[in-house]
Amino acid sequence: MLIFSPKGIGAILSVAAAALTQPCAAQEQAKTTVTFLTAERPDTFAPAIALFERQHKNIHIEYQQVPFDNLSAQVAARIGSGDKDLDLYAVDVPRVTELASKSYLAPLEDERAKLENIAGDKAIQAVSYQGKIYAYPLWTSTQIMYFNRDLLNAAHIPYPSADPARRLTWQQLVGQAQQAQQAGAPWGFSFEQVDRYYQLLSLYISYGAGSGLKGNDALTADLTSGGWQQVSDWYRSLYIKHIAPRGVTPEQTPDLFGDGKVAFFVGGPWNIGRFNKVASLHYGVAPMPYFAGGSPSTPTDSWAVGINPHSAHAREAKLFAEFISIDPEGSYSTVINNPLPPVNNVAFKRYIGNLSTMDSKIGPISSIVSYELAHTAVSRPRTKGYVIFETIIDRAFSDIRNGADSKQTLERAQLRLNRSFARIK
């Protein structure tokens, strides 16, 4: 029989208590924080993060958001300085070439078999540089034309066909937009992403003017030939003639359509949920127009996710990246609050199935999206100078929209681009 003094019992209880609390402390210490930098709203990835953290209780995803225009600078500053605290980040697909060439992305060639199992060749090529994979593809994209049924009815304009083979030309659209304005529509037409190369590239491709870059390395500007001035003049005329509104940002344009102030609106399918919340808005969908004599062309590509090569938590970062890209449930969870088409094949079928529930109300949106992605999607060029190009060309679009002479603006942009590209070459 053992007899303990009160002092001895206290000591034993203290040891026992410490033994009980040590596992908790160890668990807290073992929990790894993975930093994820993006330009998306927090609610975009919130469902995915919640689902992932339930399955990986020892990993916490720290979400960091910066404006889209600041993302490239943040990535360059942090990764360029060897920052180990940034683990993974969202990558605009056309920037993979530049980021990989600067060693800002960890190589992911060991993930090829997994990615080929869930994504097509085009999606994998989009996240590759010199034949090797450097990012996990997340989403793709397309554009559709929305039309306000009430404004078209008031102007006695027939609804545009949902058949891709009978899509409107841009020339027809301008005439109908002006007709709608004469009947009371505040604005005849608006792009969603005004002044952005992502959306406007398709105009130049449709016309046959090319991407604005040439050469095997796409490091020579080509803005003064091949129809770029003609298309830019057309874009300028939308604002000179007050068919489309000036003084608005891409973030503001959907509200103009949602408020019933725009007859025709070209934007992404992610707007559908937003528009459906407006009870007074009666709208339909149709394929994006094209230039008569040219070919139908629609924007595509979207975000991927890359790993910082200096990451202190590369293993955990890859687990999360695989979850939101390769895992069908994880992939689909990223489009619940931001309905872009997922690259993951299984998640895409689920996405299209859900989209089809809107067909009877707004038109065959599911088949339009599927058709455009398969037949008319045109990617932005892959080049080491993409960020420079996008920055300068977007500024040129803005100047043209605000009345600057198209020819002179494009000539200045080409001169600036070729000077900048010379340093890269």
**141-165 confidence digits (pLDDT tens):** 999 999 999 999 999 999 999 999 9
Which of 70-74, 188-192, 342-346, 413-417 is the least confident region? Answer: 70-74
CA dihedral 47, 49, 51, 54 (to 10 degrees): -140
Does residue 22 register a pLDDT over 80? no
In the prediction, which pLDDT does 30 show? 77
Averaged pLDDT, 365-390: 96
In the prediction, which pLDDT does 425 show? 79
Averaged pLDDT, 195-204: 97
Q: Chain-wide mean pLDDT for the chain?
A: 92
- The H or E element containing residue 124 is helix 121-126
In the prediction, which pLDDT does 5 show? 34
Question: Which of the pair, 368 or 68, is modelled with greater confidence?
Answer: 368
Provide the token pair at 320: 């999360």
Using alpha carbons, select from 385, 390, 398, 392 the residue that is nearest to residue 411.
Answer: 392
Averaged pLDDT, 115-137: 95
Summarised one tens digit per residue, pLDDT across range 100-110 is 999 999 999 99
Q: How confident is the model at residue 7 (pLDDT cuts 50, 70, 90)?
A: very low
For 401, half-sphere exposure in the C-beta direction (CA atoms, 13 angstrom radius) is 20
Does residue 11 register a pLDDT over 50? no
In the prediction, which pLDDT does 236 show? 98
Does residue 8 register a pLDDT over 80? no
Our CA angle for 261, 263, 266, nearest 5°, is 105
In the prediction, which pLDDT does 355 show? 95
CA–CA gap between residue 393 and residue 409 (Å, rounded): 10
The end-to-end CA distance of the chain, in Å, is 87
Summarised one tens digit per residue, pLDDT across range 225-256 is 879 999 999 999 999 999 999 999 999 999 99
> How far is residue 30 from each of residues 21, 232, 282, 372, measured CA to CA in Å?
14, 57, 53, 47
Our CA angle for 376, 378, 381, nearest 5°, is 170
Reduced to 3 states (helix: H, G, I; strand: E, B; else coil), residue 158 is coil
In the prediction, which pLDDT does 16 show? 40
Reduced to 3 states (helix: H, G, I; strand: E, B; else coil), residue 385 is coil
Question: Do 397 and 234 contact (CB within 8 A), yes or no?
Answer: no
In the prediction, which pLDDT does 29 show? 55
CA–CA gap between residue 133 and residue 283 (Å, rounded): 41
Summarised one tens digit per residue, pLDDT across range 301-332 is 999 999 999 999 999 999 999 999 999 999 99
Averaged pLDDT, 261-269: 97
Ramachandran angles phi, psi of 310, nearest 5°: -95, 5
Summarised one tens digit per residue, pLDDT across range 91-102 is 999 999 999 999
Provide the token pair at 250: 């891409």
> How far is residue 77 from each of residues 70, 82, 83, 103, 186, measured CA to CA in Å?
11, 9, 9, 13, 44
Q: pTM (2 decimals)?
A: 0.89
Does residue 26 register a pLDDT over 70? no
Reduced to 3 states (helix: H, G, I; strand: E, B; else coil), residue 69 is helix
CA–CA gap between residue 48 and residue 331 (Å, rounded): 8
In the prediction, which pLDDT does 92 show? 95
Question: Do 396 and 382 contact (CB within 8 A), yes or no?
Answer: no
- Classify residue 277 as exposed, middle or buried by CB count within 10 Å of its CB (0-12, 13-18, 19+): exposed
Instruction: Centre a 10 Å sphere on the Cβ of residue 23 and count the other Cβ atoms it contains.
Output: 9
In the prediction, which pLDDT does 225 show? 83
Does residue 12 register a pLDDT over 50? no
